[in-house]
């Protein structure tokens, strides 16, 4: 009980910091409609969440995080700018590491502000850093906006770019697609034989959930893709260079400006990155020592689409991130039925703060 009491006290301390910044306290149900999360993330989320059925409400899911219900509530009831805070338990399966808890407390801070989104990025990051002051944590940052701009700038078909965008959060699948679209891996023999057949469905009984028309459409898509030229190796090399970046932010900015000369599609995103560094510096962050990783956060929940960050205790590699956050403008557009509001937020795990403060 002592650990639980300390965690709750720490959660109240952190939330008080967010409230002092002007955040409104919000509550969300522990049970959330599963269809919303499945629509957003696909069936992948099912393997990481606890799902149940209710005779009246249908399929429900124990809350895997707070952001989605907070966004839904904001888009239905409030005008921006707005700031919110919350605290409570979230529930996620830990198949890869059974030693980690399946339920834990999060305290969060969310900002919806279309007037000054770059300053909102800096505000959230600086506020989280202040709440974690004294813990000797390493901060790491990234930017999905740069990566997605690079993908959209590739000289290839919209179908290929859509496939790469869909799998940005699945690094292995993304790598496999990039190799295939770049001609680095051969077409599997079975697929090549299928595509070479004039009437591949002739005399074939289609099994499974897809109709014969859907299977035929998929074959036509594969044929069209097979006829396309590979993505130029020079463009793939530039994309790989972005993913491999891991230096302090000022050094990364210099590299990105060099890359933008040959890949102008990322120029606007690089400009936003430079302006964010200025805003972070004005908020009291030492950007000269702040780390940037081009590959950062690509296995997180799939709603981040811009600035992302995390705080880590390098002295305790057994612990997950103490805090994580980022920008999720696209999520507001999905949940707002086409209406979008620039939004950024972050969460802290207070039980990890308690554990680390006991060592400081």
List the domains of the chain with CATH numbers.
2-150+237-357 (3.30.930.10), 184-229 (no CATH)
Backbone angles phi, psi at 133, to 5 degrees: -60, 140
Q: Is the dihedral of CA 125, 126, 132, 138 positive or negative?
A: positive
pLDDT at 360: 44
pTM assigned to the model: 0.88
Sheet holding 31-33, edge to edge: 31-33, 58-62, 51-54
Give yes or no for a contact between 228 and 163, defined as CB atoms under 8 angstroms apart: no
Cα dist from 355 to 195, 234, 359, whole Å:
58, 47, 7
pLDDT at 96: 62
Render the burial of 284-315: b for 16+ CB within 10 Å, e for the rest: ebebeebbbbbebbbebbbbbbbbbbbbbbee
pLDDT at 300: 67
pLDDT at 53: 81
Give yes or no for a contact between 23 and 83, defined as CB atoms under 8 angstroms apart: yes
Distance in angstroms (rounded) separating the CA atoms of residues 27 and 278? 34
Q: Which residues of the chain have pLDDT under 70?
A: 1-2, 41-45, 47, 94-99, 190, 194, 198, 200-210, 212, 300-302, 359-360
Strand partners, 25: 85
Give yes or no for a contact between 272 and 283, defined as CB atoms under 8 angstroms apart: no
Distance in angstroms (rounded) separating the CA atoms of residues 206 and 35? 28
């Amino acid at each position: 009980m002592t650990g639980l009491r300390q965690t709750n006290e720490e959660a109240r301390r952190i939330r008080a910091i967010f409230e002092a910044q002007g955040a409104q306290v919000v509550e969300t149900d522990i049970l959330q409609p599963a269809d919303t999360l499945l629509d957003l993330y696909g069936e992948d989320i099912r393997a990481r969440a606890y799902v149940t059925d209710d005779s009246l409400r249908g399929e429900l899911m124990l809350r895997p995080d707070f952001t989605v219900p907070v966004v839904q509530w904001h888009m239905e009831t409030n005008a921006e700018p707005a700031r919110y805070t919350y605290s409570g338990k979230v529930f996620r399966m830990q198949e890869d590491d059974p030693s980690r808890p399946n339920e834990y407390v999060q305290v969060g801070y969310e900002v919806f502000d279309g007037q000054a989104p770059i300053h909102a990025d800096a505000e959230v990051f600086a506020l989280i850093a202040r709440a974690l002051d004294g813990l000797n944590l390493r901060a790491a940052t990234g930017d999905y906006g740069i990566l997605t701009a690079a993908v959209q700038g590739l000289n290839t078909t919209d179908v290929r770019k859509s496939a790469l965008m869909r799998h940005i959060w699945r690094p292995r699948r993304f790598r496999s697609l990039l190799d295939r679209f770049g001609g680095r891996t051969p077409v599997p023999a079975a697929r090549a034989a299928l595509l070479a057949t004039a009437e591949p469905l002739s005399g074939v009984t289609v099994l499974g959930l897809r109709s014969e028309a859907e299977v035929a459409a998929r074959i036509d898509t594969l044929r069209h893709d097979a006829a396309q030229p590979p993505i130029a190796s020079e463009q793939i090399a530039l994309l790989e260079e972005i993913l491999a970046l891991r230096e302090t932010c000022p050094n990364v900015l210099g590299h990105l400006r060099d890359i933008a000369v040959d890949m102008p599609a990322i120029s606007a995103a690089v400009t936003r990155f430079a302006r964010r560094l200025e805003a972070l510096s004005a908020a009291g962050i030492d950007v000269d020592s702040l780390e940037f990783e081009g590959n950062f956060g690509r296995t997180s929940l799939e709603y981040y689409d811009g600035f992302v960050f995390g705080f880590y205790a390098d002295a305790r590699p057994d612990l997950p991130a103490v805090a994580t956050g980022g920008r999720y403008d696209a999520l507001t557009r999905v949940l707002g039925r086409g209406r979008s509001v620039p939004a950024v937020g972050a969460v802290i795990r207070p039980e990890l703060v308690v554990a680390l403060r006991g060592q400081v």
